[in-house]
Amino acid sequence: MFRMLVAAIFVTSAALCVEANAQDTIPLEVELAGGQAIQLSLEDLDAMEQTEFTTTTIWTDGSNRFSGVSVLSLLQSVDAEGTTLQMSALNDYSVEMPLADLEDGAPILATRMDGETMSVREKGPYWIIYPFDRGARYQTESNFARSVWQLKQLKVLD
């Protein structure tokens, strides 16, 4: 009986690990203003020009090195046109920002923190992040609200 219980726990744990890993490989959806949706995998994002910086955040301890794709570069690579970017998380949190607020290198769509991919539990697989330590202009309530973790979709609006 004990062996059957241990075996059942092991099988259940293994299934949960596989399910968690499958969630961590969620593609990022980029929806263009015309309604066309593009699915980007981690490999697709890794193939784009990478940006990296070290910063502290209000959600993590100490300084962390974030790397990924500049949101501006990502949108340029898919020929996105519009005026507003809506960013949505797995938990349906959503926030908008004017595309005019995007800079080359800030914010980035982080795919890694301290060189490691981020699980859903660790705010991944994708996180919009600013170089907060570069000055007060990045340390605003609107930028904190735009720092969407567990990002699932970028939607370009007219």
Would you kindly state where each structural domain of the chain is located, as residue ranges? 27-157
Beta-ladder partners of 51:
68
pLDDT digits (tens, 9 = 90+) for 80-121: 999 999 999 999 999 999 999 999 999 999 999 999 999 999
**CATH of span 27-157:** 3.90.420.10
pLDDT digits (tens, 9 = 90+) for 35-85: 899 999 999 999 999 999 999 999 999 999 999 999 999 999 999 999 999
What pLDDT score was predicted for residue 4? 46
Residue 156: band (very low, low, confident or very high) from pLDDT cuts 50, 70, 90: very high
Per DSSP, the three-state class of 122 is helix
Residue whose C-alpha is closest to residue 154's, from 48, 51, 76, 75: 75
